[in-house]
Amino acid sequence: EAQVTQNPRYLITVTGKKLTVTCSQNMNHEYMSWYRQDPGLGLRQIYYSMNVEVTDKGDVPEGYKVSRKEKRNFPLILESPSPNQTSLYFCASSLGSFGFGRSLNNEQYFGPGTRLTVT
């Protein structure tokens, strides 16, 4: 089954304690990205990766790190979490390039989300 998995699904931590949220996909997708979702702000992209060892900043990268050592994995690292990073986080994957074909089945896959609370 094609899927994106994230772990943990729920996490409560304290300010300053380093944490990693894992993301893994089994579809051999090139493109992976992380988003945070906050009320009234929609989804905002944190980092994205077009392929192994290629990562770029999204709109809200401050306070986060990522790595892409393998194609299937794209962990999100918070070196020193702060309360303003309390949010719902989503990982996603897709083909790197869509081409110009019309297809309703060319899906963007999202993980189930990780709800993070930093106290």
CA distance 21 to 11: 9
According to DSSP, the residues that pair with 90 across neighbouring strands are: 35
Q: Compare residues 8 and 16 and give the one whose CB is closer to other proteins.
A: 8
SS3 63: coil
CB 60 within 8 A of CB 87: no
Q: Compare residues 14 and 54 and give the one whose CB is closer to other proteins.
A: 54
CA distance 103 to 113: 26
CB 52 within 8 A of CB 101: no
Contact between 1 and other proteins per CB under 8 A: no
Q: Compare residues 61 and 73 and give the one whose CB is closer to other proteins.
A: 61
Contact between 112 and other proteins per CB under 8 A: yes
Binding mask 35-74 for other proteins (x = CB under 8 A): x----xxxxxx--x-x-----x-xx---------------
Contact between 104 and other proteins per CB under 8 A: yes
> Binding residue for other proteins (CB under 8 A) from 53, 70, 79, 107?
107
SS3 83: helix
According to DSSP, the residues that pair with 91 across neighbouring strands are: 34
Residues that bind other proteins (CB under 8 A): 31, 33, 35, 40-45, 48, 50, 56, 58-59, 88, 90, 92, 98, 100, 102-104, 106-110, 112-113
